[in-house]
Amino acid sequence: MKQIIRTLVVDDSALMRKLLPQIIESEGSIQVVGTAMDGEFALKKIEELRPDVITLDLEMPRMDGMETLKQITRRFGIPVIVVSAHTTEGAAATFRALNQGAFDFVAKPKDALSAHMEEITRDLITKIRAAAMSRLVPRKEIQLSFERVQKASKVRPLARKIIAIGISTGGPNSLQYVLAQLPADFPASIVIVQHMPEGFTELFARRLDECCAVDVKEAQTGDLLLAGRVLICPGNKHVKVRRMPQASVAILNDDSPVNGHRPSADPLFYSVAAEFGSDSIGVLMTGMGEDGAEGLGAMRRAGALTIAQDEQSSIVFGMPRAAIERGYAMRVVSLDAMANALQINSAAEKPRAATKV
């Protein structure tokens, strides 16, 4: 018999309090045990109903979503999935919520009619399941620094070695933790597929760039793969790499979703395997599902070093587990040790000629 996941929906919109339960309960193993129109009602309902997972709107009267999240995290330790407005302001608030301890987020469709709400059904149900499972595995909390890094304009050399990273649930904080430890003169170029909706990745890249010594930007077609540059694949695109005599570049495309995702880690990993072979490192980090596992296997066969994050430090041990179980991960590394592993294994090759950015 399936374990029923008890869920509380918190949203100030009467329409959303009607639609979200319909979406959530379309999966028989999830039950909406209550709804609340603001944070004060939500805290009372949590005391009374003791849900396993909470979905939370951030824009509410009286006690807003951010304060509600702080109270839930401090008092109850129940995983929270933020249901975010699909706006720049909504994206900024969402990243603050993730930093405050939210498990993950889904973006509301721009038109919240029931027909459009189907767009988030699969995503929301999958994340509720993963959030419920995450309560069973205690993990070390990530300590993040929010200090803005002062950067000087500099010439960055072309990178000989490429690091490809696939990551999903738990990714924003985990990536910030790792990238903030890399020095400005990091010798490799990093290309990242983070499962994230369109409209969120640009702000995410900017936030990372502010707190990291390496340069971080949302990828565009034609971006050079430079030492010390990190490219984040945009939401709703795939990214591949192309190695050319004068310079290697990132290429975006609108191909069909892979493993249910766009962006997907597999197209990136397959292209890195074909173009860079042993001059590359593949990394699968925290995330649901199996995206990137087969691509990591292709990288290993091409001579790349392949790394998977360990279970204890993964928010969700899905993507790394799939690669480990198939024998594709040559090393299993904790989040604490990831930055050091990337530095040590990137230093083997020296970058080529300098290029001004």
**All domains of the chain, ordered by start, with CATH?**
5-134 (3.40.50.2300), 155-356 (3.40.50.180)
Span 310-344, pLDDT tens digits: 999 999 999 999 999 999 999 999 999 999 999 99
Span 247-281, pLDDT tens digits: 999 999 999 999 999 999 999 999 999 999 999 99
pLDDT of residue 149: 77
Q: How far apart are CA 128 and CA 68, in angstroms?
A: 18
Among positive and negative, which fits the CA dihedral 263, 264, 268, 271? negative
As a whole number, mean pLDDT of residues 19-47 equals 93
The catalytic residue positions are 168, 195, 291
Q: How far apart are CA 160 and CA 221, in angstroms?
A: 19
Beta bridge mates, 58: none
pTM here is: 0.90
Among positive and negative, which fits the CA dihedral 124, 6, 99, 15? positive
Instruction: Flag whether pLDDT at 304 surpasses 60.
Output: yes
